[in-house]
Amino acid sequence: MNIIYIDDDATSRALLRDMLATRGMAMTEAADARSGLKMIDAGKFDLILMDLRMPDMNGLTAIRQLRSAGDKGARIPIVVVTADLSQGVKDLCQSAGADDFLEKPVDMDRLFMVIASAGKGRRA
């Protein structure tokens, strides 16, 4: 599975990279939403992991752009990865077009359940 993780926090990216490595998986990393969107446009990804709170463009805006683009970004499963547990944030993510939600710190078992689910239920 080809995964991209978009998060401005290098420590968060490193933690997920290490978790994925325990199962022989790798990921592409983007340090901001704009560069992540360019990578998605240029590459072939099976799953997008997206932080919400990033400078310049937040994750919700990036998700909305992907879902409204009408291209391959509209079909790739998107999982929000965030420490924002404020009331209503999951609803906001779903209304923007996110498929699932992971809370930071990420639980490894939950991460792999979400990856497995995304692999089975990819958007057509």
CATH no. of 3-108? 3.40.50.2300
| pLDDT tens readout for residues 31-86 | 999 999 999 999 899 999 999 999 999 999 999 999 998 766 678 999 999 999 88
Average pLDDT, whole number, for the chain? 92
Residue 74: what pLDDT?
72
Q: Where are the domains of the chain?
A: 3-108
> Is the confidence at residue 123, as pLDDT, over 50?
no
The Cα 73–Cα 64 span in angstroms is: 10
Residue 69: what pLDDT?
80
Residue 72: what pLDDT?
66
- Three-class SS state of 119: helix
Q: What is the mean pLDDT of residues 87-112?
A: 95
